[in-house]
A and B are shown apart, each in its own frame.
Chain A
Amino acid sequence: GIQVEQSPPDLILQEGANSTLRCNFSDSVNNLQWFHQNPWGQLINLFYIPSGTKQNGRLSATTVATERYSLLYISSSQTTDSGVYFCAVVTYSGAGSYQLTFGKGTKLSVIP
């Protein structure tokens, strides 16, 4: 099956710093999503971005499908950005069905 690798696995930032999280995938995909899992365990949708660039406030994402990677940019980080960021890709698994495969996540800690 498809491999989804996220880097770095852990990241510690000072409040106000910027960061880039990376997601590499081993095959072509139908779509790609970025999620934030907050410290309470809730999975929050950040971006649905099979290709191109999107921005939402201090966060933006870029997916280059032809080169099989996606980047999540966090600018002016805040303590509320702490948590785990997951990349997930959808691939066709045959017989009309699709599968969402998650990376193992990047754990972000923003310190005051």
Chain B
Amino acid sequence: EPEVTQTPSHQVTQMGQEVILRCVPISNHLYFYWYRQILGQKVEFLVSFYNNEISEKSEIFDDQFSVERPDGSNFTLKIRSTKLEDSAMYFCASMREQGAGGYTFGSGTRLTVV
């Protein structure tokens, strides 16, 4: 069964540092997403990416966040200057086409900002 792969599984960083979270979506999927989940809470939308550009982003996804798909396989989320409240589980997800199935989520990166 194809998987979405995320690395690292855990990341601890100091406040103000930059972090890059990496994802390898399923190869024939066309839509890519980043979501985050603060412990025990709801899954929050950050950004969607299609055809090599951002298609939608939430109010959480401010100037400190950016996404890239540098080489056609990896999909990265960068947080430029981390804040304590960025601590959460970050999930990457991909989908083949709209309306034909659901999202396949990666196993997540647990980010802890200290």
A and B from one complex: no
The residues of B with any CB-CB pair to A shorter than 8 Å are none
The residues of A with any CB-CB pair to B shorter than 8 Å are none
